[in-house]
Amino acid sequence: MTSSEPRLNAAANPAVEAELDRLPTTPIADLRKRYQELFRTEPPKAFGPDLLRRSIAQRIQERAYGGLSRSTQRLLDQLVKAAMAKPNGRLELPRRIKPGSELVRT
């Protein structure tokens, strides 16, 4: 497994994988219906087929393999609050340099 591949806590579920494999060929009307089933709301009108497929795939995987960790969710909530506090400002992400890291000037 390379560092770019996601790590799953459980083995891949064949039913989940089969559903994900069907998404690229699913018609947009069916994608909108599936989005509504998963998110319990109408998909935004601006969502095209690609964004619908990505959203659906993310929700399917989240339900099957688990969602974000609490610490990641907390960080995202903090970023949303910061963005709302200064909507035209620039967000500063916390730096996470670990001991032993080599800094390279670019």
CA 37, 39, 44, 46 dihedral sign is negative
Structure tokens at 23: 């998404």
Distance from first CA to last CA of the chain, Å, rounded?
28
| Residue 59 resides in a domain | yes
Q: Over 60: is that where the pLDDT of 6 sits? A: no
Check residue 33 and give left, alpha or beta (phi > 0: left; psi -120 to 50: alpha): alpha
| Residue 70 resides in a domain | no
**pLDDT tens digit string along 12-66?**
889 999 999 999 999 999 999 999 999 999 999 999 999 999 999 999 999 998 8
| Residue 48 resides in a domain | yes
- On whether the pTM is more than 0.95, the answer is no
Amino acid at site 56: I
In the chain, the number of structural domains is 1
| Residue 26 resides in a domain | yes
The residue written with tokens 């994988």 in the block is: 17
Task: Give dist(CA 29, CA 18) in Å, integer.
Answer: 19
Domain hosting residue 38, numbered range? 14-65
